Amino acid sequence: MSYYLNSERHLDPGPIYVRENGQLHMVNLALDGVRSTLQKPRPFRLFPKGFSVELCMNREDDTAQKEKTDHFIFTYTREGNLRYSAKSLFSLVLGFISDNVDHIDSLIGFPEQIAEKLFSAAEARQKFTEPGAGLRALQKFTEAYGSLVLCSLCLRNRYLVISEKLEEIKSFRELTCLDLSCCKLGDEHELLEHLTNEALSSVTQLHLKDNCLSDAGVRKMTAPVRVMKRGLENLTLLDLSCNPEITDAGIGYLFSFRKLNCLDISGTGLKDIKAVKHKLQTHIGLVHSKVPLKEFDHSNCKTEGWADQIVLQWERVTAEAVQLRKTSAPPTAAQRFYGKRSRAEAPVKCPLADTHTNSSEKLQFYKEKAPDCHGPLLKCETVSSQESKKSKKRAFEESEKEQNNSSQSSKQKYVCLAVEDWDLLNSY
């Protein structure tokens, strides 16, 4: 207070105007007597000297800024002027639910068209990449919509994605095509055990090329089908190539796949190939192909569904994390000795993936299509040809009866369970 009272600096009152007889006159206050009679004004200061104010519009919190602008759509006119319009109530509600999608109790019975838009909104906000919350949100969609979320999944040579996002991958249901080639899973991997789950009983195409599998892994994978008639019972295509630990005994477990139409066992550890060919043709009707089959060129299985972009996000995030580890990790003793320059890592290639592989080395099998008996009869067909067809039909029926008898006897043989099968069943 004393600062303001003792301050010698006065505010200039400025000119003073007086109205007399309808006219305005300015009073001259330059006289010392008049100035001395004026009361010393108190200086008006809200803040101490040296205080400054800075406009901090760009320093607002991102969430607060997003809440202010999220309700509007900003566009530009032809003249270059900024124009904004309010969003619809549906867009506002959709954005709010997508921000809190992990708190939804259930989506069962919710319309598919609205659910797809909700999934896209949550994906745009990268809610599925968040740890913990992303898994819960993805499970809500897969439980309600199954194959719409993802009907086909290709993780070929994506072993890092499998190790980082294993729980998310296990949440997918009703897949029809699954490609796990060149992932080095092994017999004891958790994902291989998940293949026998009821949630993946819809898989019809399974690629397990170059996964370090042995007879034990094949036995574990086929146990639910052989014993309980569940699991991969709808499998029509199976690729077990480039697994040298699979022997003749492991091929015998595949006879339980009665719907199998295509099989690739190239690069396995078979000893008696001729006997294996005969068994496959006798038990499940598979014939060895002399030319490579197009079903095993890995072009049919692609990631398809609502979550196809999420899988790409997983691959990108995983690659960035690996690159960050390489750059931030301290140099090893070998790198310090030879220098910090690291050698260029060549991309890992699956064996027998080259196009110049000899077709004779491939052991690919297919099931021949049955002849069409309902086609139109030719006009030039004679009675003798009809009789020959009848005789062929009788021979075909007799061969079918013999095959049925042999299949029944083979079924009776395979109903007898070994001690290892009982131990495997007790583990479920």
Q: 294-330 burial string, b = 16+ CB within 10 Å, else e?
A: ebbebeebebebbbbebbebbbeebeeeeeeeeeeee
Q: For the chain, which residues make up each domain, given as ranges? A: 72-148, 150-326
* Phi–psi pair at 13, nearest 5 degrees: -70, -20
The identity of residue 392, as a single letter, is: K
pLDDT > 70 fraction of the chain, expressed in percent and rounded: 64
Q: Which candidate, 166, 144, 145, 146, places its Cα nearest to that of 155?
A: 166
**How big is the chain by its Cα radius of gyration, in Å?**
39
Mean pLDDT of the chain: 76
- Averaged over 93-110, what is the pLDDT? 91
pTM of the model: 0.66
Other residues' Cβ atoms within 10 Å of the Cβ of residue 43: 11
Question: Contact at 8 Å (CB) between 210 and 350?
Answer: yes
Distance CA 243, CA 267 (A): 6
Tens-digit pLDDT profile for residues 373-400: 444 433 334 444 454 455 445 555 555 5
The identity of residue 81, as a single letter, is: N
Give the H or E element holding residue 84. strand 82-86
Question: Alpha helices, DSSP H only, in 232-307?
Answer: 248-252, 273-283
SS3 of residue 127 by DSSP:
coil
**CA 350 and chain centroid, separation:** 22
Which residues partner with 18 through β-bridges?
25
Other residues' Cβ atoms within 10 Å of the Cβ of residue 416: 7
Superfamily per CATH, domain 150-326: Ribonuclease Inhibitor (3.80.10.10)
Other residues' Cβ atoms within 10 Å of the Cβ of residue 84: 11
In this structure, of 24-33, 70-79, 181-190, 241-250, the range with the lowest mean pLDDT score is 24-33
In the predicted model, is pLDDT for residue 274 greater than 90?
Answer: yes
In the predicted model, is pLDDT for residue 109 greater than 70?
Answer: yes
Two tokens, residue 352? 């027998």
SS3 of residue 306 by DSSP:
coil
